[in-house]
Amino acid sequence: MSNQGKKLEIEKADVSPVCPHCERKVEKLIEISRGFFAVNRVFCCPHCHKILGMAAGQ
């Protein structure tokens, strides 16, 4: 099943993400990228610097 071409509905625009570690409001992320052809990214909280997520791409 593909979602290409379908528009997504925004259910709630006023959501404020919170860091699960320090519980502070997250308005920005720190992104650390490594690699040239295959880029690995790590996303960190700007307050406590703990990892919030990772992504790998080509």
What is the per-residue pLDDT across 11-53, written as a single tens digit (0 to 9) for each? 777 888 999 999 999 999 999 998 888 789 999 999 999 999 9
Question: Of 54, 56, 47, which Cα lies nearest the Cα of 31?
Answer: 54
Q: What is the pLDDT of residue 39?
A: 86
Q: What is the pLDDT of residue 14?
A: 80
Q: What is the pLDDT of residue 35?
A: 83
- Give pTM, 2 decimals: 0.67
Check whether 4 has a pLDDT greater than 90: no
